Amino acid sequence: MDIVLKYFDAFTPQQLEQLKALEGLYREWNEKINVISRKDIAGLYEKHVLHSLSIAAVFSFTAGTQIADLGAGGGFPGIPLAIFFPEVEFLLVDSIGKKLKVADGIAAAIGLKNISTRHSRIEEVKDRQFDFVVSRAVAPLKNLWQWSRPLIKKDNTPHTTNLIEQGVHAPGLICLKGGDLAQEISESGTRPHLLAISDLFTEPFFEEKYMVYVPK
């Protein structure tokens, strides 16, 4: 928990309680349904919560923003982001229902009202449009963009460099990835903005980890 507070300090008492509760809840759920590797559970706040919140360090989502978490698993990055942005609506989508059971259980336990889940493949979601799709290392960028693009709203607002620097971004795909992404980006046919997460957080874990943003 301290590692999160090292970088973020504008939490309400409710948000702090929600964040503090995550470790115990994930440990409890992980005994029933394995959504986090045993070696990673001790590093939950660094490897999962803070990693997820790297998006919040760059993007300022306004109230009413609609976000889909593609391949949400047990709730990353969706749950930490939903805690951080309580006025933003999140739909967590995963094709494995038992993982969403964990996300549902944790959201209910900490009183998160801005999360819903759907047991589905993302390409089968036909009834909604989103401002952003977020994802964490679930597929190559080419696939993520192919699946996400039809779900992302069109935006005709000009977004200047100044606005981007202020965290105001056009609708698009935001994914967290690691390693050498040159070939993956080339094969995707996209021209993404790439940010090294090590520029945000200094811990060794974040070396060679990146945030990839593809505006629509």
State the binding site for S-adenosyl-L-methionine.
71, 76, 122-123, 136
Residues 6+ apart with CB under 8 A from 147: 70, 122, 123, 139
Residues 6+ apart with CB under 8 A from 35: 26, 29, 73, 74, 75, 99, 102
Start-end of H helices in 70-212: 78-84, 97-110, 141-148, 161-165, 182-188
Binding site: which residues?
71, 76, 122-123, 136
Q: Contact, 146 vs 121, CB < 8 A?
A: no
Q: Contact, 188 vs 213, CB < 8 A?
A: no
User: Would you list the DSSP string of 129-163?
Assistant: -BSEEEEESSS-HHHHHHHHGGGBPP--S---HHH
